[in-house]
Structure 1
Amino acid sequence: MFNLIKKDFVIQKTQLLLFIPFIMFFAIFAGHMSPAFIFLLASMYIPINGYFYDEQVESNILLNSLPYTRKEIVAAKYIGAIAYMILSIGVAGIILYIFNYDFLIMDIAIAMGLFFIFAAFAFPLFYILKPGYIGVVIIVGMITLAVVLPPLFRFLAKHFTTITDFLSSLSTTASYLIGAAISIGLYLISWMVSRFIYQRKVF
């Protein structure tokens, strides 16, 4: 399974050369941007590129001809995504530190939680949608979330005061623990859903 995880790193040699300039661009020209968002973009760089590459070359046909079970193929994607998320956030943190771009551990925690939530919804789509549609759906989905979430949160804060009062009464530590539990829980559920879909997929 380690070779399956390493595959995404090996096949992206060219794209990885762009990773550091990609983060440097934000560190230099996006001083107004939230560090959490930069860490989120960094964390998604390798896993999402890996899925796009698999889609373009139809690598699932090759993978299923190798001595790996479909459970192992899906597990490698999900475990590898966590490993590359940690690696990417670490590199991004070093770059931001070098360029004196202020950030907190809280920003990293928020980015990791958002990564788990985004991946939980995005990864199963790669096993459901036909090739050629995935990139469009992901981009449209991200734009939709960016437009819909702010007014949705304002609506919930205005009309569901019981929930907002409860959340505001929680300590910072409790809030982060609940957020971490929800995001990781969604990621694990997504893993099970992807495995169910992939085991029944015909190539």
Structure 2
Amino acid sequence: MYNLFLKDLRLQKFMILFYIGIICLYQINLTNLLFTVSVIGCMYMFNAHFNDEKDNNHKFINSLPYSRKTIILSKYAGTLIFTFFATVFTLVFQLGVDAIIPHFGIKIGTLKEIGASFVIIMVLTSFYLPFFYRFTNKYLLAGFSIVFLVFLFTWKKIINFMDLNKYLLKINTHFSTTELSVFIFIITLVLFISSYFLTVRIYERTDF
């Protein structure tokens, strides 16, 4: 699995420079850690899957001495590992800017934001991978990518339109922060693990 993760990193070596640029740009524009890490983690996951589908690379991968379970596991685990590194880089960048330019106004990410970003990544991965391994289509992938890019530039308007903050405040009045965090983590973990087994089942039934 380690070698498969390294393979994904090598295929995205130029994209990683792009990710770093996006992180720096978002932080200079005072975007919070939650949104920054969520976007970067999702982009990595999308591209890791897209690279396997491009030019029928999945046929080559399946010729390697790895089980299909290991191949799928590398996608799920690799996304979390990359998200961890993206989180660390974002925090280091924030701390560096705050130390050099104290009055810049950059906000250091909190544990709550870090946890929430991982939850978002895990939920999106849980839905994305089984769906696209089941319905592999380059036009579908392109369409999903366009929708994601549109969301990047309109997410604040969407949140304001749906008035999500009002619903979050209502939830907080019924549950303590700890209770809510534990509940969300358990649900997300169950969803993530279930998604992995579903994707493995789909992938094992796929003919290459």
Structure 2-normalised TM-score?
A: 0.81
Equivalent position SS for 1:67? coil
Q: CA deviation at 1:70?
A: 1.1
Deviation string 1:130-171 (CA, Å, 9 cap, x unpaired) is 1232131244268579577766676x95xxxxxx86752221
Question: Cα–Cα, structure 1 residues 148 and 10, in superposed 2: closer, same or farther, change >3 Å?
Answer: same
Segments of 5+ residues of structure 2 without an aligned counterpart are: 99-105
Q: How does 1:112-123 map to 2 (within 5 A)?
A: 112-123=118-129
Asked whether the 8 Å contact 2:4–2:74 carries over to 1, the reply is yes
Identity %, equivalent residues: 23
**Separation in 2 of the partners of 1:111 and 1:166?**
19
Which residue in the other structure is 1:7 paired with? 7
Partner of 1:160: none
* Equivalent residue, structure 1, for 2:176: 171
Is 1:108 equivalent to 2:103 in the alignment? Answer: no
More displaced stretch, 125-134 vs 74-83: 125-134
Residue in 2 aligned with 1:92? 90
Please provide the CA RMSD for this pair: 2.6
1:38 positional shift: 1.0
Task: Give distance in 2, aligned partners of 1:143 and 1:184.
Answer: 28
**Which residue among 63, 70, 74 is the counterpart of 1:72?**
70
Count of matched residue pairs: 195
For residues 39-188 of structure 1, the aligned pairs below 5 Å read: 39-100=37-98, 101-102=106-107, 103-127=109-133, 128-140=135-147, 146=155, 157=167, 168-188=173-193
Is the contact between residue 45 and residue 125 of structure 2 (CA under 8 Å) also seen in structure 1?
no
Q: What is the letter of the counterpart of residue 205 of structure 2?
A: R
Specify the alignment match of 2:101 in structure 1.
Answer: none
SS in 2 for 1:109: helix
2:205 and 2:158 mapped to 1: Cα distance?
33
On the 8 A contact 1:42/1:92 being kept in 2, the answer is no
Please give the TM-score of this superposition, normalised by the length of structure 1.
0.83
Q: Which moved more, 1:142-151 or 1:183-192?
A: 142-151
